[in-house]
Structures are given as structure tokens and as C-alpha cells.
Amino acid sequence: MTEVLSAPLVVEFPFTRSLGPVQSAFLTGLRERTVLGVRTADGKVLVPPVEYDPGTAEELRDLVKVAATGTVTTWAWNPGPRRGQPLDTAFAWVLVRLDGADTALLHALDAPGPDAVRTGMRVRVRWAAERTGAITDIACFEPYEEGEATGHQITAHSGEFGGETAVTGIVAPARLDYTYSPGRAQSQYIHALSGRRTVGERCPSCRKVYVPPRGACPTCGVATAEQVEVGPRGTVTTFCIVNIKAKGLDIEVPYVYGHIALDGADLALHGRIGGIPYDQVRMGLRVEPVWTDGGRYPDHYRPTGEPDADYDTYKELL
Amino acid sequence: MTGEFRDVAIVAFAQTDHRRRTDELSEVEMLMPVLHEVLERTGLATADIGFTCSGSSDYLAGRAFSFTMALDGVGAWPPISESHVEMDGAWALYEAWVKLQTGEADTALVYSYGKSSPGSVRDVLTRQLDPYYLAPLWPDSVALAALQAQALIDAGDTDEPALAGVAARSRDAARANSHAQIGGSVPQGDYVVRPLRTGDCPPIGDGAAAVVLAAGERARELCGRPAWIRGIDHRIEPHSLGVRDLTDSPSTRLAAERAGAFARPVDTAELHAPFTSQEVVLRKALRLGDDVTVNPSGGALAANPVMAAGLIRLGEAAARVHRGASDRAFAHATSGPCLQQNLVAVLEGDPR
Amino acid sequence: MSNAPRPSGKEPVAVVGIGQTKHVAARRDVSIAGLVREAARRALLDAELTWADIDAVVIGKAPDFFEGVMMPELYLADALGAVGKPMLRVHTAGSVGGSTALVAANLVAGRVHGTVLTLAFEKQSESNAMWGLSLPVPFQQPLLAGAGGFFAPHIRAYMRRTGAPDTVGSLVAYKDRRNALKNPFAHLHEHDITLEKVQAAPMLWDPVRYSETCPSSDGACAMILTDRAGAARAPRPPAWMHGGAMRSEPTMFAGKDFVSPQAGKDCAADVYRQAGITDPRREIDAVEMYVPFSWYEPMWLENLGFAAEGEGWKLTESGVTELDGDLPVNMSGGVLSANPIGASGMIRFAEAALQVRGQAGEHQVAGARRALGHAYGGGSQFFSMWLVGTEPPTT
């Protein structure tokens, strides 16, 4: 059995998130070093403020200002910070009930060690030096032993900050790293391609040849294993003419994107048709692969010069 | 619920050997043998199945529409009546149970699979969180569970030695489970996120599971001692940890009440508690005494293929009923940070 | 839950509330929660119900990568009043909006719950759908042609098979965009649309013109489904479900007919059997079908049994599918006029229900008594459909 392939897969995107009024006010407030909460119909103050009452589902819009000091309600010491977390040295995750709030906010606490952290300890917000209107405008919390809880000094707040532009959206970059392994059947297929051979697998039950093989015959639900080399020639079963440049692909438009049934295969695979003017490509055209150095897949398929295949010979492969 | 709903039973269960990595297998290559095994146990073929439902996650796989390729393992030809939830397979089982309640099908195939090995599951699960206030901080799944564990310790509900006891009991039980990823004597190890140590956390790995459901007489034809679903229900809680009482699981309790769980005592409970501390919460919510055998399979602490681990709890509880080791059992599944969403099923065997 | 003996057969399912957002390219004024909430609130208002009247929530959307939130129902539980209730999340690719409604309907039909909120959404402006669909998975051949390039070759195969003239696709787009002008929720409102403009649009993926493709939208759609008792209390006429089905076939397989997939035919046949329909062309008054590229209208007309094989394009060409035609199709403007991907299937189901309730406003088909809602996805492998009517089902 050939070696199983694997390679890194990075899934990364800067998501653009619009906030709605309550979250907009909260994040604008953080930028202005102010912590807002939202008051429910029964008078509870939720910090961070949410748009809808977790208990009743009613819409919440009654903003209030709370203190930047509070009390730890639970904590967990994180000896090994991970990418993206608020601090890059060991810290405590904490839930903090800010003075004036009835619920707790999750964030990091900068403390010298786990022995310096306890439930019930007093903390205060350490503001980030550069604030943009994001939860990370709170750099973290820090111990604040001198400050006793000084009652619930909440005040109503309009959610507006004296002419300053409100934050209405955030950009949330997210990156996850995976190691992708395509499994046995596809690994064998890709290995064969490196020798410029196209090797499919035959279903032991229905005898159909799958290219590329996926490890299972999808109609019979059984493993495929018998290797069958197909092609290299094949028939264009159908196609479209692409007039819009595909992102990240260095192909001049227009070009032809075709479905190609390689001789001996029971379903078509996809590829570019070249070596012929785009407006002369037709269903039934006989083609063969053209390889370029270093390419894992054929660069494109070109006409063989054979007569076109009769429609009846490939209509089942459409 | 008995008498109000159509009688439906779990009649077969199969699972992979759960392993840290399965690089040599694509998802469908990992799943397909399990599908074959569970169908063989009932003598059914895909064409005999009335409804098929699966559970999986694109985020775990790192690819959109990953479930569409897993369907290759079913052999969906001629076309089948089929659905998919982006949830643990326990909820796929629930959807299938509902389908059988409509009378449109008498049998159902339910499967789920998860490969945690390609990505970093601790980081992947941060993407489940509130995208505005939580996800930008990347609080990982162990960190959130540790906050819950500390709350339990502060409340006097448990302590570190007791948590170590849960870990030891689970790994000891897993000795008898040939599918388990880890078992036997496993050191508690260092803190991952204090107060949780390595031993308090589930192993990371890959696996798949499948069950067959059948209604009424069909269940008796397919299984010597069907595991009747006497009740099944699931409930969700607010998302934010800061508005919840982390020492309790009201959604588990409510689901259990709705499932008729407290009508009579159970002998067995398969709880989906990936962290030792979560077993403490669930025991309290489900009012489990010391006379109940909890997680005889070793539970998620012995094998935790994400998206399948909940369905496996239902399968393990049913398998004990099938072989006469249990007469009435709870099966529980969870989803979301710190037990946000919970499903409870009550399984019973016919009197012996 | 009563102790009364269980009645035999399925509980009839009624649609008593429908809500959707105004679909647009980007809803920058709301969060994801705010978007779904808007549709849900409108459905509750329509049904004159409150959050407390809802027993369970069933939510659907297309891949989580589109918004970059894994299993977003966890975060959305609060906004949808699901706390303390059961919440299910369905994902069956492009058909998901339809499948989600059917899962919710089964909760009522199986007498598990009395009243269920079902909702589907997509907030495409949070990312870029083509990014989500073409993650850089190693070893795989790069996607050569984008979304339209996947479907255009199948359209060419349809044209070859049926001899349809190449003008038919433009007729569909022209009709749907005009219909959209009568639907305040549609994304595209092209007031100056003409057939000439549709035909003059550039060919992106020949034979698919730019004007014959769907937009990328932010939007949500919600419905309240209930049982007979709930329907009796409804303030407005309900739509009754007469049949519903899902069918799946593999993604790619030897012998797959991409032009008219067997799963689509089987799904429609199941729905017609449940509803007692023997001649869909005569017995169904209006159709909302999932047409992301204009040519799929004639293709689905055949697949769904409204026309013989090879004849679907003739219905389109002769005006049968126009709003004032004999079998109106996509009265709302369809997916060609609004495509919040995960919600698009549910919008088809909801628009079918609006028609038989007589609530479709300017795009109402006079006297519509039975309407079909249709959704498909995953490279024509997943299908979900329902048939709704003005009268309760008799069986």
C-alpha cells in the first residue's frame, strides 16, 4: 500500500460582522473606556449587554453604565496561552461581575500566578492602549485589592458618545490550522497521477469504474479496491465557456471548462479544454491530457484529432 | 410518555475503534465499516431502511459540505429519504425518532462521525462561541470547562481528588471496552487549565458510530431484546456562561422530566461528560445515586470522537439493554460550551 | 402531554405564521441574531403568538463557514426564544431551508409538539460564499470555474437533450425579475428591466448570462407550524400541508442524471402520492421552485412532472409559467431575485404557503388552492418539497 498523503490546510478569513444597536453601543463604549450593560424588564443588569433577554426573549435596549471594577465569580489558571488569546504569558481566565451588573463577563486576568487568584477577588479593567471598538479593547483585568465593592452605581446611558463615530461593525479574523489527509483511495489516485497515470477503482458489486476513486462506491455503499487504469484519452461530454476570471487562477478568459469521460471510466471528471479555439469545442470532442512539469493534474486536455464520439456513446455519462 | 408515543427501539449499535489519528482513512472510509456492521446485526440492507439521518460538523473537518461525501458509504441508490443535522449524532437519532413517530417510516439508520485529528479541537470549538464578545478571545474548550470546574469546587460540590476519582473509575471501566481509546491506569498528570488536569480531560481522537431504530413489532423481529425509547427530550440554555449557574444543568433536568426519567429508578446511566467535572453536574441534575452504574463504557473520558460521542452514549446504553446487563437506563448527550444543550433518553428492555 | 389515547395517523400540519426579512446584499444594521430575530418576530406577529406559545425551534442554514460561526444555533438560542426549549439545527446543503421546515413539520405531525418555530438564514456579507465553498483543500484540483461553472455544463446537456432554443433562459430571468417588482422582500428590484437588457448581459459561463444568475443576499425566513387546535385559533387562514418529502442521492456517481436527477423525481412522486395528486400540471395552481440559474426552471418543470421529458422549455416559452399564466412559477421572483443561501429553500416553502393563504399581496395568484414549494442542493443530490393547500388534508 502506498504512503498516505497529508498536507497543511489553513482555513483563514477576516469576517466582517455588523453589530446591531446594543452591541454597537457596548463596543463603542469600550473604545471610550466605558462599560455599558443592558437592563431587563425585571431590573437585572446584563454585562456584557445582549440584544435579547435570555429568560424572556424580549428585546433589550435600556442601556446603563456600570463600573470598570468588579468581582471574580470563577476562574481558571491557563499556564499555556494559545494563539489569539488575550495575553501571551500565563494568565487566569475569569468570569467577572462588574459593580452594578448582575451577570458576569468572560475575559483574562493578568496575575503573577494561580496563588494570586481566588473567587471573590476584586479586579478592574486594564484598557488596551489602542482601542478600536472590540472586546479586546479590554486588554485584560488586573487585581484591584484596594477597591471594595461600592454599591451598584449604575446610571442610564444613551449609548451615544458625544459626537464620536459609533462602532457599527468589527472585523474578526479567524485562522484554523488543519492537517488534511485524503485517505487511502485518493492517496493512491494522487500517487498514480504523479506518474501521469489516471487510476480509478472498480466497484466489486456494480463493476463501475470510479475516477477519482473515493474509497466507496456511492450507489452500492461498498469499498472499492480493484485498481483500473483509464484514459489517457477521453470524450468531452459537456462544457461551458468561462468568461469571468476565476479568483487565484492564472488562466486567460475565455476558456472552456469541460466534463471529460476518460476511456474506461464510468463517470466524467472535470478539466480545461485547450489547443482549440474556445468556440470550436463541442460535445463529443475527443481529447487527451497535456501535462506540465510539476503539475499534479493535467494542465488541460487537447483534441486528439479523432472523429467526434457519437452522442449515444456518452449520453449516459452526462 | 409511555403509551402516548409510538413504541420505538434502538435495535442495533456499532462503533469504530476510537483512535488518536486515522490519517489512512477518509471520513467515508472510516465510517463505512460501521454502517455495514450495524446493518448486518439486523439483517437489513440500505434499501430496507425507511429513513436515514446523520450528524457531523464541517468545522471539525475543515471543509464545507463534508457530510455529502460521507453519504457515499450508505449507498444512497435508489435515492433514499435522508436528512442531516450539524449536531452530535444524538440529535440525528432524535430527528429519526420523530420521523418514526409520524408513521412514515418503521426503521431508521442513524450515524455520525468525527475526526478531531486534522485540526486542534480546542481551538476549533472556540468558533462555537458568541462571535462578537467571546470568539475574538479564543477561550478554548478546556478553559471553559475549567471555569465550570472551579465554580463546582467553590460551591463545595466537588474537589480535585473527587474529580480524579471520576477519571480513574471511567478509565478503569474502559478496560472492558475494546473500542475505547484510552483505559486502565491513566495518570492525572499536570494541569491543562487549572483545576483540570490531563486526566480530567477527554482523549482527542477520531471515530464513528451508527444505530438502527425500529418501531413496534419490527423492533422485535430485528432484535432479541430491543432497547425501547420510553422517553426522549432535549433542551437548550442561554449561551453566555456569565448568565448561567455553571454548577447546575437545568436543561438536563427539564429534558429528563419531559422524558419521564424520574418515574422509576434506573440501573445504568451513560452520560456525555467530556470533562470529569461535568459528570458531577449531570449526576446532580439527573439525581443519580451511588446504586446507578455510571458510564460502564468509560464514557467520553475513554473515547471522545466529537459529534459522535453523544450518539455513542445512546448506543452503549442500548447495547447493555440488548445483552441483558440493564433493564432501564439513561442515555445523555451534550452540545455547546459547559453543557449548554442536553438530550436525555430513557431506554428499557422488556421484562425478563 | 395528555394521557388521552394516541390518535392514529399523522396530525395535520398548518402554517399560521410567515415572516421574512427584506433581502439585500448586506444587512449592516443588524447582528446575525438581529437578522434571524426580524424574520421570527414577523412570523409571530402574523400568527398573533408570543415566544411563550412556541414549543420548539428548528433552524437551518448552509455551511457554517459562510458566517464563520460553528453551530451558530448555540449563540442564537437566546434571540429565538429557545431557552428552556428543544432546538434542532438542520444542514442539508442548498435544500436546507426546505428540509428544516419538514423536520419542524414532523414534530407537529408526530404529535411531539403543538407549535413549532422554524427558521432559516444566511448572512453572506459576513464573508464570501465562494471562499467558503472553495477552501484550499490540499491535493484537490482547483475549482476551475466558480459556482456557475458547476451548473452551466448541465444546462448545455439539457439544451442538447431537448433541442430547447437558447432564448428560453432569458425569458425565465425576465419573468422572475418582473415578478420580484411585486414582492417587497425580494433583493433585486430592477425597475427598468427589459428582455433586451437580460439578453444583452454578458455571458459569464456560456450558456449562462450574468442576468440569469442569482444574487448573493443577507436574509432570513421563518414560519410558525402548528396542529389542528393551533390552526383553529389562528387569526388568518392557515396553509395546510398535504405532503412533504426529502430525497437524497450520492453527489457524483456512474449513471447520475444531472439534468433530471432521480432523487428529484422520487421526491415529487412521494409528495404527490401523499397529497392525492395524479396530474400535477392540472391540480397544482402555483409553484415556487429553486431556480438559481434561469435554465433550471424548464429542467425542474420536467423533473417535477409538470411537463413531459423534453417539453419543459415549451411551458416557459409559451408563457404558462408567467404570473398570469396557467401554471405560475416563482411568483415571488424566486432565487434569481433573492438568494440568502440557507434561507432560499424555506422562502420557496413559505411563498407557496402565502399563495394558498391568499397573503401574497401583489404577486398573489388569484384563487390559488394548492401550491408546491421545492428546494434542492449539493450539486443536485438533495431534494425537499412540500405541497400546501387552502383546505385541511382529508386523509
Residue C214 DSSP class: -
Task: List alpha helices for chain C, DSSP H.
Answer: 32-47, 73-76, 96-109, 129-133, 146-162, 168-180, 195-200, 228-233, 262-275, 280-283, 296-303, 312-317, 341-357
Q: Is residue C9 part of a domain?
A: no
- Show the beta-strand stretches assigned E in B89-136: 107-115
In the block, residue with C-alpha cell 470529569: B276
**Angstrom distance (rounded) from CA B348 to CA B165:** 29
Domain count, chain C: 1
What's the Cα-to-Cα distance from C68 to each of B35, B336, C62, rounded to whole Å? 31, 16, 11
Q: Is residue C75 part of a domain?
A: yes
Torsion, CA B186, CA B190, CA B191, CA B192, rounded to 10: -70
Instruction: Check residue C129 and give its pLDDT.
Output: 81
Task: List alpha helices for A151-264, DSSP H.
Answer: 183-194
CB–CB contact B77 A219 (8 Å): yes
Which residues in chain B are closer than 8 Å to A46, comparing Cβ atoms?
A: 243
Instruction: Check residue B1 and give its pLDDT.
Output: 39
B333: β partners: B343
Residues of B numbered 240-299 whose beta carbons fall under 8 angstroms of chain C's beta carbons: which are they? 240, 250-251, 254
CB B241 within 8 A of CB B56: no
Instruction: Check residue B239 and give its pLDDT.
Output: 97
Superfamily for domain range B8-120+204-222: Thiolase/Chalcone synthase (3.40.47.10)
Which residues in chain B are closer than 8 Å to A221, comparing Cβ atoms?
A: 32, 35-36, 46, 72-76
Q: How sure is the predictor about C148, in pLDDT bands with cuts at 50, 70 and 90?
A: confident
Torsion, CA A37, CA A39, CA A40, CA A42, rounded to 10: 130
User: What's chain B's average pLDDT?
Assistant: 97
Residues of C numbered 320-379 whose beta carbons fall under 8 angstroms of chain A's beta carbons: which are they? none
Q: To the nearest whole angstrom, how far is the Cα of A242 from the nearest Cα of chain B? A: 24
**Angstrom distance (rounded) from CA A171 to CA B135:** 12
CB–CB contact B128 C248 (8 Å): no
What is the per-residue pLDDT across B95-112, written as a single tens digit (0 to 9) for each?
999 999 999 999 999 999
Instruction: Check residue A151 and give its pLDDT.
Output: 61
Q: Neighbours of C (≥3 Cβ pairs closer than 8 A)? A: A, B
Average pLDDT over residues B224-240: 98
Which residues in chain B are closer than 8 Å to A23, comparing Cβ atoms?
A: 132-133
Q: To the nearest whole angstrom, how far is the Cα of B242 from the nearest Cα of chain A? A: 4
Among B29-33, B216-220, B297-301, C126-130, which stretch is predicted with the lowest mean pLDDT? Answer: C126-130
Strands A300-303 and A286-290: antiparallel
Instruction: Check residue C378 and give its pLDDT.
Output: 82
Q: Is residue C329 part of a domain?
A: no
The percentage of chain A sitting over the pLDDT mark of 70, rounded to a whole number, equals 97
Q: How sure is the predictor about C9, in pLDDT bands with cuts at 50, 70 and 90?
A: confident
What's the Cα-to-Cα distance from B161 to each of B166, B168, B292, B299, C311, rounded to whole Å? 9, 10, 21, 19, 75
Which grid cell is B291? 446504586
What is the per-residue pLDDT across C173-204, written as a single tens digit (0 to 9) for each?
999 999 999 999 999 999 999 999 999 999 99
* Domain ranges across chain B: 8-120+204-222, 121-202+229-348
Chain C residue at shortest CA distance from B4: C6
Which grid cell is B290? 451511588
Which residues in chain C are closer than 8 Å to B101, comparing Cβ atoms?
A: 106, 109-112
CB A235 within 8 A of CB A314: yes
Domains within chain A, CATH numbers bracketed: 13-174 (no CATH), 182-230 (no CATH), 231-318 (2.40.50)
How many beta carbons lie within 10 A of that of residue A148, not counting itself?
10
Among A142-151, B5-14, B195-204, C290-299, which stretch is predicted with the lowest mean pLDDT? Answer: A142-151
Q: Is residue C269 part of a domain?
A: no
What's the Cα-to-Cα distance from B250 to each of A223, B235, B247, C84, C85, rounded to whole Å? 45, 9, 10, 8, 11
| Chain-centroid distance, C-alpha B269 | 12
Q: Which residues 6+ apart lie within 8 Å of B245 measured at CB?
A: none
Q: Which domain holds residue C42?
A: 14-127+216-233
The verdict on B336 touching C (C-beta cutoff 8 Å) is: yes
A138 compared with C129, residue with greater pLDDT: A138
The verdict on B70 touching A (C-beta cutoff 8 Å) is: no
Which residues in chain A are closer than 8 Å to B74, comparing Cβ atoms?
A: 221
Q: Is residue C158 part of a domain?
A: no
pLDDT for B2 beyond 50:
no
- Judged on CB neighbours under 10 Å (0-12, 13-18, 19+), B267 is middle
Whether B8-120+204-222 and B121-202+229-348 share one fold: the answer is: yes
Which residues in chain B are closer than 8 Å to A107, comparing Cβ atoms?
A: 137
Q: How many CB pairs under 8 A join A and C?
A: 175
Q: How many CB pairs under 8 A join A and B?
A: 191
The verdict on B234 touching C (C-beta cutoff 8 Å) is: yes
How many beta carbons lie within 10 A of that of residue A156, not counting itself?
9
The verdict on C185 touching A (C-beta cutoff 8 Å) is: no
Residue type, A242: V
Instruction: Check residue C27 and give its pLDDT.
Output: 98
Q: Which residues 6+ apart lie within 8 Å of C310 measured at CB?
A: C161, C162, C163, C302
pLDDT for B251 beyond 80:
yes
**Angstrom distance (rounded) from CA C2 to CA C16:** 23
Q: Is residue C103 part of a domain?
A: yes
Cis omega (within 30 of 0) for bond into B195: yes
Pick B95's closest partner by Cβ from C103, C133, C253.
Answer: C103
Half-sphere exposure of C31 (CA within 13 A, CB side): 24
What's the Cα-to-Cα distance from A57 to each of A54, B189, C82, C226, C235, rounded to whole Å? 6, 43, 8, 20, 23
Pick A85's closest partner by Cβ from B29, B138, B240.
Answer: B138
The verdict on C9 touching B (C-beta cutoff 8 Å) is: yes
**Angstrom distance (rounded) from CA C252 to CA A317:** 11
Instruction: Check residue C227 and give its pLDDT.
Output: 98
Torsion, CA C151, CA C217, CA C306, CA C162, rounded to 10: -20
Which residues in chain A are closer than 8 Å to B191, comparing Cβ atoms?
A: 77, 79
**Angstrom distance (rounded) from CA A54 to CA C82:** 9
Q: Which of B305, B295, B297 is nearest to B271 (CA)?
A: B295
In the block, residue with C-alpha cell 467571546: B134
Which residues in chain A are closer than 8 Å to C148, comparing Cβ atoms?
A: 240, 244
The percentage of chain C sitting over the pLDDT mark of 70, rounded to a whole number, equals 97
**Angstrom distance (rounded) from CA C11 to CA C375:** 24
A106: β partners: A95
How many beta carbons lie within 10 A of that of residue A84, not counting itself?
17
Q: Which residues 6+ apart lie within 8 Å of C356 measured at CB?
A: C239, C240, C368, C369, C370, C371, C388, C389, C390
Sequential pLDDT tens for chain A (318 residues): 568 899 999 999 999 999 999 999 999 999 999 999 999 999 999 999 999 999 999 999 999 999 999 999 999 999 999 999 999 999 999 999 999 999 999 999 999 999 999 999 999 999 999 999 999 999 999 999 876 666 667 899 999 998 789 999 999 999 999 999 999 999 999 999 999 999 999 999 999 999 999 999 999 999 999 999 999 999 999 999 999 887 777 788 999 999 999 999 999 999 999 999 999 999 999 999 999 998 899 999 999 999 999 999 998 888
Q: To the nearest whole angstrom, how far is the Cα of B79 from the nearest Cα of chain A? A: 9
CB C144 within 8 A of CB A249: yes
Which grid cell is B69? 461525501
Q: How sure is the predictor about C133, in pLDDT bands with cuts at 50, 70 and 90?
A: confident
* pTM, to two decimals: 0.97
Q: What are phi and psi of C255, to 5 degrees?
A: 95, 0
CB C114 within 8 A of CB C108: yes
CB A62 within 8 A of CB A48: no
Pick A9's closest partner by Cβ from C125, C138, C206.
Answer: C138
Percentages helix, strand, coil for chain A, rounded to the nearest 5? 15, 40, 50
Which residues in chain C are closer than 8 Å to B102, comparing Cβ atoms?
A: 10, 106, 109-110
CB A163 within 8 A of CB B103: no
What is the per-residue pLDDT across B43-69, written as a single tens digit (0 to 9) for each?
999 999 999 999 999 999 999 999 999
Across B76-88, b (16+ Cβ under 10 Å) vs e yields bbebbbbbbbbbb
Is the ipTM reported for this complex over the cut 0.85?
Answer: yes
- 3-state class of B152 per DSSP? helix
Pick A179's closest partner by Cβ from B29, B118, B195.
Answer: B118
How many beta carbons lie within 10 A of that of residue C226, not counting itself?
28
Q: How sure is the predictor about B3, in pLDDT bands with cuts at 50, 70 and 90?
A: very low
Average pLDDT over residues C375-381: 91
Q: To the nearest whole angstrom, how far is the Cα of A23 from the nearest Cα of chain B? A: 8
CB–CB contact A77 B240 (8 Å): no
What is the per-residue pLDDT across B258-279, written as a single tens digit (0 to 9) for each?
999 999 999 999 999 999 999 9
**Chain C interface, best mutation among B58, B254, B339, by max C CB count within 10 A:** B58
Q: To the nearest whole angstrom, how far is the Cα of C336 from the nearest Cα of chain A? A: 19
Q: At what angle do helices C168-180 and C296-303 cross, to 10 degrees?
A: 100
CB C44 within 8 A of CB C224: yes
CATH number of B121-202+229-348: 3.40.47.10
Pick B191's closest partner by Cβ from A77, A134, A174.
Answer: A77
Instruction: Give the CATH number for residue C82.
Output: 3.40.47.10
What is the per-residue pLDDT across C220-260, written as a single tens digit (0 to 9) for each?
999 999 999 999 999 999 999 999 999 999 999 999 999 99
The verdict on C87 touching B (C-beta cutoff 8 Å) is: yes
Which residues in chain B are closer than 8 Å to C120, comparing Cβ atoms?
A: none
